Structure 1
Amino acid sequence: MKDLGELKSFLGIQFKTKDDCIVISQKQYFEKVLEKFDMKDYKPRVSPCEVGLDKDEDVSPIFNDPRCYREIVGSLIYAMVATRPDLSYIVIKQSQKMSKPTVRDLNVAKGVLRNLKETLDYALELRKSNGPVNL
């Protein structure tokens, strides 16, 4: 085994060590995802999805390139699991549409990418604990 020093980056996740916590973020990963799907120049969005997304069931044509949609949702799943649990609801909803995504589903997924652009600097802080936490 070889000591490579303090962990700075691993699998697209950046780590910063402070006195009492570790901060993890995926800013560089998000920038690459936005570039990959040509979303860098789009206007940022404050929320990841619209209110009443489940209730609004309009008829939308099947998207002709489901692979693109699956790649977007797969990228969002990795972000959700690693550092962005706030995206869980919308990403899980979008992952349910993987077999036959519609144009509307693609637009919703792109809205989540626009939200990533707005929240690039979000990070998780993992703090030390002196014992068990009572909820």
Structure 2
Amino acid sequence: MQDLGELKYFLAVEYIKDGKDLWLLQQKYAEDMLVHFRLANCKLVATPIEPGLKLHADLGVLLADPHSYRQMVGSLILYTLTRADLSYTSGLVSQFMQTPRKPHLDAVMRIFRYVHATL
């Protein structure tokens, strides 16, 4: 076994020890996530979901590439480790992973715009 030194970054979480305190941050992960999905210059919003939004499993056009949708939602779920305020919206959009549609993607994009606004 080998000592690799003090833990700094592991599983998308940055660990910062400050005296007796340990800070868990995902700032770098959020920035990398926005760059990866080409949303670094997106329009910012103040809320992660539109008030009163109802998503339905069978309304809207099916996405041509559901794999991208699944990657985006999975990234958001991992991000909820340090951002509990996104748990509800991430859980909501994760219900449509099997057959994502355009309104579902629009909701995910809004969550990413909110993430960008809160960095």
Q: TM-score range by the shorter chain?
A: 0.7 to 0.9
Matched with 2:33 is 33
- Aligned twin of 1:75: 75
Corresponding residue number in structure 2 for 1:123: none
Identical pairs, percent: 36
Match of 2:90 in 1: 91
> How far 1:23 sits from its partner (Å)?
1.2
- 1:88 to partner: Cα distance: 0.7
Query: What SS does the corresponding residue of 1:98 show, helix, strand or coil?
Result: coil
* CA radius of gyration, larger in: 1
Root mean square deviation, CA, Å: 1.8
Corresponding residue for residue 114 of structure 1 = 113
Runs of 4+, deviation exceeding 6 Å? none
What residue is the counterpart of 1:126 in the other structure? Answer: none
Amino acid at match of 1:37: F
TM-score of the two chains, using structure 2 as the length reference: 0.88
- Residue in 1 aligned with 2:3? 3
For CA contacts below 8 A with separation 6 or more, give which structure has more relative contact order: 1
Using the alignment, how far apart are the partners of 2:45 and 2:20 within structure 1? 32
Count of aligned pairs: 118
